[in-house]
């Protein structure tokens, strides 16, 4: 079988376990990262390595640690599955040279992945990823991969176990009034989706009148009952049912590595990621009275443009991937950055997505306004008008990619369902904006063979029409 080149997508390299994601390939990736740390004069700061709850993630993390240590670089290895945002903040707190995280985030069970973080704790920018990829290719071609056994590395002081939870808890306690949330008397259901976020919100909110129940909190790499650990409506039916049955105030879900958030309202309805992002922007701007730019990806809601106008703050737009969002947040001192995937990052914190902190901010929004999630949507719409959204994911064979792209490029629509297209762009995929401010976007995933079709409009039926049109346009 021909070996596939290791290429990093919007957030790391991912592969099917035992086919692409093998110990040999993980070791090559680790050697590529070690070489980069030396090239960038970051090796003396050491490297943090974390992992999620997927099959053999701790073993892949150990293999990566053996290679990093074999290059004479100190490794801080988490002693248990740890959320990506906790590792990201740990890079800042310990002034490390970066991080490796063994996780495939929201992908199906047969996948695992290799994420890298820069010395800022953020997703590595394109120029860093390119250099690491070149280093990996060289390691694979030459077979030169340095290595120490874990026991030998520990004996030499090159591998140290480091629990990052305490410093992370200290950080989020500075950012939000945890004591008021503990005493808010909320009844919450939390679904960590069998992932690394298990226990974090429970530990943060225990000790008061707020009551929190976890579901899907055991480690099970098969993710039973869900297609994948992605906090979208189709994967949160159990959470929705539990919220209704237990008459909870809200349900919160984090994905496999806890950098994404999904919200279930009090009557079991799923709040779209675009609604949640707009609500978090409204929370920071109105409830907390903060000011600063908003950064959004092309797939995220146009509601933030209206909020930008209302609160007189600029809005910046990027390609999909927090590696594009974070640099703009840093350059503009942005208040918040968000993706359609349910990943949100915040000023004053590590510039990376954080599903745990986003959960706490959403709960703080509820308690400080006294509104339920459904009431918050009504309040949001009173300011920006109704907006509805849906995404359609379709698997395709890699050989179809060129024909799909050329078909869309050759047949751009002038109108969709009788509504005129006023602008289009190819910033990231093919986007069509209509005269009524509805939009349709068609793009292929950067981490898996999936085409995604996105649409936002003022009614659910209009969204369905846009998605149907997008599917026909792509020939799927």
Q: Quick one: average pLDDT of 435-453?
A: 87
* Residue 106 region by backbone torsions, left for phi larger than 0, else alpha for psi between -120 and 50, else beta: alpha
* Closest to 358 in 3D by CA, of 159, 96, 175, 95: 175
What pLDDT does 171 receive? 98
- Predicted TM-score (pTM) of this structure: 0.94
Q: Estimate the crossing angle of helix 401-410 against helix 460-474, to 10 degrees.
A: 110
* Residue in the block written with tokens 């050491």: 46
In whole angstroms, give the CA distance from residue 415 to residue 253. 38
Question: Which residue from 215, 258, 281, 286 is spatially nearest to 84, judged by alpha carbons?
Answer: 258
Alpha-carbon distances of 61 from 26, 76, 79, 470, 475, rounded to whole Å: 9, 11, 10, 40, 41
CA neighbor of 340 nearest in space, from 379, 302, 283, 380:
302
pLDDT band at residue 139 using 50, 70 and 90 as cut-offs? very high
Q: Which domains does the chain have, with CATH numbers?
A: 13-164 (3.40.120.10), 176-384 (3.40.120.10), 388-474 (3.30.310.50)
DSSP one-letter code for 197: T
Q: Predicted confidence band at 1 (pLDDT cuts at 50, 70, 90)?
A: very low
Lowest-pLDDT choice from 195-204, 388-397, 400-409, 426-435: 400-409
Instruction: Report, as an integer, the average pLDDT of 453-471.
Output: 94
What are 207's two structure tokens?
A: 């000790």
Is the CB of residue 117 less than 8 Å from the CB of residue 88?
yes
Residue 105 has pLDDT above 70, yes or no: yes
Quickly list DSSP for 69-113.
Answer: HHTT--EEE-SS---HHHHHHHHHHTT-S-EEEE--TTS-TTEEE
pLDDT of 425 higher than 50:
yes
For residue 322, pLDDT beyond 70 = yes
Q: What is the mean pLDDT of the chain?
A: 95
Q: Which residue has the tokens 């340095």?
A: 146
Q: In this structure, what are the phi and psi dihedrals at residue 342, rounded to the nearest 5 degrees?
A: 95, 15
**What distance in Å separates the CA atoms of residue 172 and residue 250, rounded to the nearest whole number?**
21
Count CB neighbours of 330 within 10 A: 15
Residue 179 has φ and ψ, to the nearest 5°, of -60, -35
Instruction: Assess whether pLDDT exceeds 80 at residue 4.
Output: no
pLDDT tens sequence across 324-371: 999 999 999 999 999 998 999 999 999 999 999 999 999 999 999 999
How far does the chain reach from its first CA to its final CA, in angstroms?
Answer: 29
CB 389 within 8 A of CB 272: yes
Give start and end residues of each alpha helix (H) in 333-427: 355-369, 373-384, 401-410
Contact 314, 340 (CB under 8 A): no
Rg (CA), the chain: 22
Strand (E) positions, 280-404? 294-297, 315-318, 336-338, 344-346, 388-395
Three-state secondary structure readout of 274-305: HHHHHHHHHHHHHHCCCCCCEEEECCCCCHHH
Q: Which two tokens stand for residue 429?
A: 């995929």
Element (H, E) at 54: none
Band (120; pLDDT cuts 50, 70, 90): very high
Lowest mean pLDDT among 32-41, 47-56, 161-170, 441-450: 441-450
Confidence of residue 3 (pLDDT cuts 50, 70, 90): low
Mean pLDDT, residues 449-459 taken together: 92
């Amino acid at each position: 079988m021909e070996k596939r080149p290791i290429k990093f997508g919007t957030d790391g390299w991912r592969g099917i376990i035992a086919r692409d994601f093998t110990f040999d390939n993980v070791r090559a990736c680790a050697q590529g990262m070690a070489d980069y740390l030396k090239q960038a004069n970051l090796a003396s700061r050491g490297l943090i390595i974390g992992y999620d709850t997927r099959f053999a993630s701790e073993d892949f993390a150990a293999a990566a640690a053996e290679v990093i240590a074999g290059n004479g670089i100190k490794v801080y290895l988490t002693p248990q599955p740890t959320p990506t945002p906790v590792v990201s903040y740990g890079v800042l707190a310990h002034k490390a040279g970066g991080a490796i995280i063994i996780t495939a985030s929201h992908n199906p069970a047969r996948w695992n992945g290799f994420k890298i973080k820069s010395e800022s704790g953020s997703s590595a920018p394109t120029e860093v990823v390119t250099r690491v990829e070149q280093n990996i290719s060289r390691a694979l071609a030459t077979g030169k991969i340095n290595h120490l056994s874990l026991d030998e590395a520990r004996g030499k002081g090159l591998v140290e176990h480091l629990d990052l939870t305490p410093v992370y808890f200290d950080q989020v306690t500075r950012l939000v009034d945890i004591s008021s949330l503990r005493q808010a008397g909320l009844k919450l259901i939390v679904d960590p989706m069998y992932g690394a976020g298990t226990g974090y919100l429970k530990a943060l909110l225990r000790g008061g009148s707020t009551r929190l129940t976890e579901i899907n909190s055991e480690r099970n790499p098969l993710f039973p009952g869900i297609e994948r650990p992605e906090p979208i409506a189709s994967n949160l039916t159990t959470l929705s049912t539990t919220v209704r049955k237990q008459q909870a105030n809200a349900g919160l879900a984090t994905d496999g590595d806890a950098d994404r958030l999904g919200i279930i309202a009090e009557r079991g309805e799923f709040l779209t990621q675009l609604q949640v992002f707009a609500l978090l922007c409204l929370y920071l701007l109105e409830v907390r009275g903060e000011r600063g730019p908003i950064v959004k990806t092309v797939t995220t809601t146009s509601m933030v443009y209206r909020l930008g106008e209302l609160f007189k703050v600029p809005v910046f737009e990027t390609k999909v991937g927090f590696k594009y969002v974070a640099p703009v947040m840093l350059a503009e001192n942005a208040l918040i950055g968000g993706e359609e995937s349910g990943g949100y990052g915040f000023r004053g914190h590590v510039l990376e997505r954080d599903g745990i902190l986003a959960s706490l901010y959403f709960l703080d929004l509820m308690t400080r306004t006294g509104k339920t999630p459904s009431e918050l949507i009504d309040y949001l719409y009173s300011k920006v008008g109704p907006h509805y959204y849906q995404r359609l994911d379709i698997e395709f064979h890699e050989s179809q990619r060129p024909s799909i792209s050329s078909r869309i490029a050759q047949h751009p629509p002038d109108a969709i369902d009788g509504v005129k297209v006023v602008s289009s762009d190819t910033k990231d995929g093919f986007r069509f904006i209509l005269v009524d401010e509805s939009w349709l976007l068609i793009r292929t995933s950067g981490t898996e063979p999936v085409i995604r079709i996105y649409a936002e409009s003022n009614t659910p039926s209009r969204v369905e029409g846009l998605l149907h049109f997008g599917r026909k346009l792509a020939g799927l």
